[in-house]
Structure 1
Amino acid sequence: MSASNDGRAKPSSAREHAPSGSARSRRVTIQDVAGEAQVSVSAVSKVLTDSYGVSPQMRAKVTSAIEKLGYRPRAGARAMRGRSYTIGVMVVALSHPYHPQIAEGITDELDPTPYQEIIVSGGDTRDRQQRSIEALVDRQVDGLIIIAPFIHTAQLEQLGSTLPTVVISRHGGAANFDTVVDDDSGGARLAVDHLVELGHTRIMHTSMGTGGLKRPHVLSHTARADGYVAAMRRHGLEPDIIETAYTEEGGYQAAMEALGRPTPPTAVFAGADIAALGVLRAAEERGIKVPQELSVVGYDNIYLSSIGRVSLTTIDQSGHLTGQMSARLILERLEGRTQPVQYVVAPRLVARGTSAASRRRATGRVSRSS
């Protein structure tokens, strides 16, 4: 209420009570956009769905009206018209430092398009991952990008037969979905060759179990372990694998076990950078100098690896490129491609400060040809 000139109260208008900058109390509709742009509702719909035959002038008028009115189409209504313009992305854990690199690559690739990613954490169990994927499907996403799933291959094939799907870090190829994988076996070979060239012969590797998956349809850590074993045997060396979680604590526990042996390793190839950080912590607690007494190599080339205090030697598999390519493959699927594609990322060694010549070779006590 406000006061009149004679002191009596009078009703205030709705506009007087409206918050600053807000002239509407209801959701902006497609009809409002059409009226503002002075075009038909069907013309607005064609712009929203990126339909064929829309002139640049028409698109500019409608886009200007959308921005002016702050219009946001309802996802459900868009899905009823054929597409929701959303891509579901399932990561194992948001805390895993490599997965955000993939997500950034997906975001950058989708940014110029009408599509928006929806990211969920699937956890590290098959049941939890299945529920997360089902939740995305229930929200009528147009496609799925699934990172490192433990789900059985038959289930993924069924999913891919009904919805455009790209699976990251899952080897073995597929009939109904696309895959983006690192050459993990080749990356492991790069790590082993680097350490052998430095004179190391006792090289321990931290890995994980297969999670019930059977070759060739395995996740990256299994492919890396297989590549490590092959590379060690090629050099005439005995493989030494400790299975642990791909976490900082997992790497720490594996290193504490190995470094407590009567004949400990002189080098550790950790299956992931995050596990390598645990190895470095274990070495520090035991008073073992890195790299003078222990060389450490990781995998992933996460941001923390490049920090000066860490300076971790690692294998780079370009998480950003992995994300970009997975989004590109999804867009190709949405445009009509049906044949499966497997994109393989080439790894590269990034030598930093945690790997150095074996002290045994440096003192001349051991000379071994690789």
Structure 2
Amino acid sequence: MASLREVAERAGVSTAAASRALRDRPGVSRETRSRVRQAARELGYQPDLRARSLRTSRTHNIGLVVPDVMNPFFSEVARAVGDVAGQREYSLLLGNSDGLRNKEEEFVNLLLQKKVDGLIVFAATSASQHLERARARGLPIVLIDRKVPGLDIIRADNEKGGTLATSHLLDLGHTRIGLITGRLDLATRRDRYNGYRYALIRAGITPDPTLVREGSVRSDHGYGAALDLLNLPAPPTAIFATTDTIAMGVLLALEERSVPVPEEMAVVGYDNTYLTVICRPRLTSVAQPKQQMGRWAATFLIDWIEQGRADGDEPVEVVLDPQLVVRESTMPGVRALQGRDLPLSGVGRSGS
């Protein structure tokens, strides 16, 4: 097996530069990085992770815990985390919590037994004492999307996203707007609900609790809740589904009831996953910066593992802007405009 020294000689650089290039670290030009990687491929170079672990007392394993690996939002973020982990020569251990605190705690404990160097978690609840205990023991932990007091987090502004979705529907003339959401005891969903209420109140409309349906984030909840809203004496003319998976069920219910979208019912989803472009009509959705969230979380965690942090540092909270992507489920004929999605980042901002 080729050594790092041989790779460096083939590429015409120092071993230190070759090491930085292969680990995707700063201080190496793009041309040098490319030349080193080409030399490594030609020589079949593989880093000796076991020796490196002995030298650094690190396993070069990080854990990622998501609520639902089948949900495209979480899987797309996980892909971005995995991309960065691979580039930095870390293995990624993935766990599925089903959104349950006890299952999340069991998996976190298992990862701790395997001596992971750090964790990235979509917390099942804000009352996650097991995460606080792990952090108190010195384990680097970065949260995505869901806050736990005292822990670092990278998230999108969900209240602003809820306002974007609702303001778009209001701008189209809708005044009776239904909301179908997951459990409101989770901060992300509550923030989207608050954004919905904020947009209505700002437009002079009193929020109607009879137009709100709370449950799971699965498509079957969207389906049942949409049918329930359609059966109201005065049904809504638009529905804001707080995830794309919920919106898929909404569209199915509308199709079965022969309700034309968007002519008689406009629909907005949330997350802007691949589901939005494989359904018909294609779904208007609030886009979270999924790639950015995953890549930043992984980079921040691995930098923390390798470079450390000062004791007593305040928790870091990075808040990213969502963006509304308009498609045919709210605006008929929009597909004909340049034949692509239309991101409307300035529509209906809450100002928060």
Q: CA deviation at 1:75?
A: 6.0
**Matched residue SS, 2:87:** coil
* Per-residue CA distance 1:202-261 (angstroms, 9 max, x = gap): 1111112245xxxxxx43112111221222222223243210210111111110111111
Alignment of structure 1 residues 1-370 onto 2, 5 Å: 78=53, 81-150=56-125, 152-161=127-136, 162-171=138-147, 174-175=149-150, 177-211=151-185, 218-235=186-203, 236-239=205-208, 240-307=211-278, 309-334=280-305, 335-338=307-310, 339=313, 340-356=315-331
Structure 1 residue aligned with 2:346: none
Indicate how the Cα distance of structure 1 residues 273 and 157 shifts in structure 2: closer, same or farther if over 3 A, else same.
same
Preserved CA contact (<8 Å) 1:148 1:219: no
**Matched residue SS, 2:292:** helix
- Root-mean-square deviation (CA, aligned residues, Å) is 3.5
Q: CA deviation at 1:109?
A: 2.3
Q: CA deviation at 1:157?
A: 2.3
Q: CA deviation at 1:69?
A: 8.1
| 1: CA distance, partners of 2:303 / 2:52 | 24
**Matched residue SS, 1:354:** coil
| 1: CA distance, partners of 2:275 / 2:142 | 28
Indicate how the Cα distance of structure 1 residues 141 and 79 shifts in structure 2: closer, same or farther if over 3 A, else same.
farther
Q: CA deviation at 1:35?
A: 12
| Amino acid across the alignment from 2:206 | L
Indicate how the Cα distance of structure 1 residues 337 and 355 shifts in structure 2: closer, same or farther if over 3 A, else same.
same
Preserved CA contact (<8 Å) 1:192 1:269: yes
**Matched residue SS, 1:98:** helix
Structure 1 residue aligned with 2:344: none
Q: CA deviation at 1:160?
A: 2.0
| 2: CA distance, partners of 1:136 / 1:36 | 36
| 2: CA distance, partners of 1:244 / 1:109 | 34
CA radius of gyration, larger in: 1
Q: CA deviation at 1:73?
A: 5.1
| 2: CA distance, partners of 1:180 / 1:301 | 18
Indicate how the Cα distance of structure 1 residues 35 and 178 shifts in structure 2: closer, same or farther if over 3 A, else same.
closer
Number of positions where the alignment pairs a residue of Structure 1 with one of Structure 2: 310
Task: Please identify, of 119-128 and 275-284, the stretch whose mean Cα deviation from structure 2 is larger.
Answer: 119-128
Mind listing any 5+ residue stretches in structure 2 that lack a counterpart? 8-14, 26-34, 333-352
**Matched residue SS, 2:98:** coil
Preserved CA contact (<8 Å) 2:126 2:147: no
